[in-house]
Amino acid sequence: MAAAPRTAQAAPIRRSAYAQLRAAGYDVDTDIDRTRRTTADVEADKAARAAARADALAAKSDRTHAAADAAEAAQQRAAALLPEGGEPIKIGHHRGLLHG
């Protein structure tokens, strides 16, 4: 037996939701536009969504690169504060006891 279309499956749920909303005192308009869009319209909308997603990902990439550049600059500033040759062994501190 073939499965019922999704719209047919959802119809009882919609009717139940409409009834609950009406019982709660809300006006419910059930006028649904069932006209089909042309393939050209569907493809144009799909292309527009893809372009918007590409723009959003490009902006995210720019933000990520800026954050990475800032993190690298912070690391370089921190490294510049260390003495030549790196942090000295601190005698009496953790593993420094082995070097004393």
Residue with more model confidence, 8 or 63: 63
Write down the pTM of the prediction.
Answer: 0.50
- What are the tens digits of pLDDT across the range 23-53? 999 988 877 788 999 999 999 999 999 999 9
- Helix, strand, coil % in the chain, rounded to nearest 5: 65, 0, 35
pLDDT for 28 = 83
Residue 67, pLDDT > 80, answer yes
Q: How far apart are CA 6 and CA 42, in angstroms?
A: 20
